[in-house]
Structure 1
């Protein structure tokens, strides 16, 4: 066996062990998990997550996931808590402490101070008889049979299991709160994620002078010039009141050249499609993208409930807005 093949075998073994660990944790979930979810759901304060070492790294991730899915949460380092950061924890908070052994000195040292506050203390450990478990209001056991580390020393399966447990808790709370994509976007306004969830068709469509449109009866030559000027690869055809009647596209123009040598007498009405794909201005931009992909088209016209033309957008607009 080559070294490269050996590397793959070792990697697959790690993934197999960690996958088995997740199954173990799933099989042992019980009413303690339910109590923890209920305590956090009805919490009047914030969720304060604690952990030392690798448990601390996992705790930071859990706190971040909770915060981004509608449950106010933050991480406090246990050692710093003993030197003043306990002041960040107030009555009504839920404190979630993570430790595989349940005997983390930094956490056990501040348990008396925590218990003096009107908080709910949740511990997640692999040892249900540990100090942290015994003093917790709610204890969730997160024990795995084997670490993926062959030495049995580096936290691997155990940290994976706790992180997945945190994800499970966050998703349960998300569903219980009926958290929506719009709610999620409010916590993620920056970058492409926020744009994908918040931008509406009206925010990115071309309108006014930028709108590629002509009135029904326009000569085809003039319509082609208008379409070229606007550069969207399509042209809306409207009646005198601005109601949409049809669409003419670059593809139609190419087919026209293939089928006719002369088209000087054509009007745009002779070539246009009379049932163009449309969308409302208040729809999410992601819905417009989905409609374009499903219909295999590069653009959409935007109309109101009365069929009045409001705007137009194409795939380039989606790329520019980082929706794609």
Structure 2
């Protein structure tokens, strides 16, 4: 095969899988809404099961449901018949996947699930199959053909089942009003969790670590404070500890360009009045946005009364994994 042949094969595969997704989109009916309602009413967990390639898809669907507000886990149907069915309780719901709808390891679970009164939502490519008929609700994932040129290897069918699982997860997410904070709580260890959970107050420098001088300080005193605290700036405060302005590395360069006498200057003569600030309760990700938008590298942190309660710079955000 030539490079052109490889590319043609890839494009053909993708087009067939796109066609499969369009096909299952046309299959959607009130059954999808019924499945959502069943899951929303479920007081337990969604137990997702499937064998072979369908099992791999089922595992991913379980993970997606669990991370978007619907408690779920994967149960291997072969192991279920040898004791793992004990993980399923009467308050749970089973989401079963099988393209043929006749997978023995899956259909053999149905009698016991019926006896326990556990609702079953099935995703199959065969609406007249055993699994489709016996389920409380069936979702039709039938497709015209696999992307495999032999029409044998599960390709378009697994893509269709996966997409239908994603559609379920997102519909449930929206119905539950699942928001960014909820998502962050289920992803606390990743970079996304850090961006969504970390507040400015969690990473800012506090108390004696805050660089500041009074409005009567000389420029020399301000520079010594900047050097000592190492954040690239210092705050200038009035008698009530309210922020009057900041003096930054950038201000220092501008002072040098103007060839001013450092020994004669008060810091208030060369400071940046006011300056951008951020509240401690805001997300650290918002501090990144504020710094990038204003092309600055550090921020004073102020409370509702305008008092400086902290300081942070871009390095702090980088170290915390927010960037």
The TM-score, its normalising length taken from structure 2, stands at 0.97
Tell me, in whole angstroms, the C-alpha distance in 2 between the residues paired with 1:186 and 1:80.
Answer: 31
Shifted more, 34-43 versus 16-25: the winner is 16-25
1:180-221 CA distance string (max 9 Å, x none): 222122222213232222111001001111111111121001
Per-residue CA deviation, residues 33-74 of structure 1 (Å, 9 max, x unaligned), is 110011001111110001000000000000011111111101
Structure 2 counterpart of 1:87: 86
1:259 correspondence with 2:261: no
Q: Matched residues in 2 for 1:278 and 1:12: separation?
A: 51
Deviations 1:141-194 (A, max 9, x none): 001222111111111111111111111111111111111222122222213232
CA distance in 2, matches of 1:179, 1:189: 16
Query: 1:134 aligns to what?
Result: 133
Partner of 2:142: 143
Question: Which residue of structure 1 lines up, in the alignment, with residue 278 of structure 2?
Answer: 279
Q: CA deviation at 1:84?
A: 1.1
What is residue 199 of structure 2 aligned with on the other side?
200
Shift of 1:4: 2.6
Output the CA distance in 2 between the equivalents of 1:181 and 1:215.
40
Deviation string for 1:301-322 (max 9, x for gaps)?
1101110001111111111000
Could you tell me which residue of structure 1 aligns to residue 321 of structure 2?
322
State the SS of the aligned residue for 1:116: helix
Give the 3-state SS of the residue equivalent to 1:183 in structure 2: helix
* TM-score, with length taken from structure 1: 0.96
> Contact conserved, 1:215 with 1:238, CA < 8 A, in 2?
yes
Mapping 1:179-258, distance limit 5 Å: 179-258=178-257
Secondary structure of 1:75 counterpart: strand
Aligned to 2:17: 18
SS in 2 for 1:36: helix
CA distance in 2, matches of 1:251, 1:5: 55
8 Å CA contact 1:279–1:288 kept in 2: the answer is: yes
The answer to whether the 8 Å contact 1:92/1:120 transfers is: no
In 2, Cα distance between the equivalents of 1:20 and 1:266?
A: 73
CA distance in 2, matches of 1:256, 1:4: 61
SS in structure 2 opposite 1:182?
A: helix
Name the SS for the 1:322 alignment partner: coil
Q: CA deviation at 1:261?
A: 4.7
Is 1:75 matched with 2:74?
yes
Distance in 1 between residues matched to 2:270 and 2:11, nearest whole Å: 59
Q: What is the rounded CA distance, in whole Å, between the counterparts of 1:22 and 1:213 in structure 2? A: 60
Check 1:117–1:12 CA distance in 2 against 1; reply closer, same or farther (3 A cut).
same
1:312 corresponds to? 311
3-state SS of paired residue (2:286):
helix
In the alignment, structure 1 segments of 5+ residues that lack a partner are none
| Counterpart residue number, 1:270 | 269
Worse-superposed segment, 62-71 or 145-154: 145-154
Q: How many pairs does the alignment contain?
A: 323
Distance across 2 between alignment mates of 1:86 and 1:24: 34
Name 1:33's counterpart in structure 2.
Answer: 32
Aligned residue number for residue 299 of structure 1? 298
> What CA deviation, in whole Å up to 9, does each residue of 1:64-112 have, x standing for no partner?
1111111110111111111111111111211010011101011111211
Give the Å deviation of 1:118. 1.8
C-alpha distance in 2 between matches for 1:7 and 1:178: 44
